């Protein structure tokens, strides 16, 4: 008997985070995708520039984020926002690529650094038998005398 594991998917929760929360997720994903031996090179074959572009932009975001946090320059904050929007687009694309690769190799998602959600299978259940009340009264209803 073959037991099939529940399919996971990547949560796209990084889209709606504050800069500091986004930065935390970005650092984790950046670290996990850098030279990860559990993600085969063939995963990136359809778009070979995607990962290098993401990693380079993540490094730039790291620098700009640090400057914006230290000096609170309006230019740095504006640049951080622009780069964050670009990174979200890259992360969406990377998430799709990794989910497709995970069909054959589920470890790809586990080691990606993204937050994951388990796909829950809906199990059809029969309806519970109705308890019959003796004289048609609704429980908790008071009778008038």
pLDDT of residue 142: 57
Residue range(s) defining the domain that contains residue 29: 8-118
Per the CB < 8 A criterion, the answer to whether 11 and 57 are in contact is: no
* pTM of the predicted model over 0.85: no
pLDDT of 140 > 90? The answer is no
pLDDT of 138 > 80? The answer is no
Residue 135 forms part of a structural domain: no
Q: Tell me the per-residue pLDDT of 91-134, one tens digit each, with 9 for 90 and over.
A: 999 999 999 888 888 888 888 888 888 766 655 555 555 555 55
Q: What is the count of structural domains for the chain?
A: 1
pLDDT of residue 11: 82
Residue 136 forms part of a structural domain: no
* DSSP conformation letters of 74-129: HHHHHHHHHHHHHHHHHHHHHHHHHHHHHTT-THHHHTS-S-EEEPPPPPP-PPPP
pLDDT band at 2 (very low <50, low <70, confident <90, very high): very low
Residue 112 forms part of a structural domain: yes
Report percent pLDDT > 70 for the chain. Answer: 77
């Amino acid at each position: 008997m073959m037991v099939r594991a529940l399919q996971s998917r990547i949560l796209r929760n990084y889209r709606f985070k504050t800069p500091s929360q986004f930065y935390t997720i970005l650092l984790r994903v950046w670290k996990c995708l850098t030279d990860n031996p559990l993600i085969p090179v063939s995963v990136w074959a359809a778009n070979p520039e995607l990962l290098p572009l993401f990693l380079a932009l993540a490094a730039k975001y790291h620098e700009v984020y640090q400057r914006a946090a230290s000096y609170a320059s309006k230019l740095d904050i504006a640049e951080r926002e622009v780069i964050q929007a670009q990174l979200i687009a890259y992360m969406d694309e990377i998430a799709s690529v990794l989910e497709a690769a995970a069909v054959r190799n589920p470890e790809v998602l586990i080691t990606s650094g993204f937050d994951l959600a388990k796909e829950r299978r809906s199990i059809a259940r029969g309806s519970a038998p109705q308890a019959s009340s003796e004289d048609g009264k609704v429980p908790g209803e008071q009778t008038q005398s």
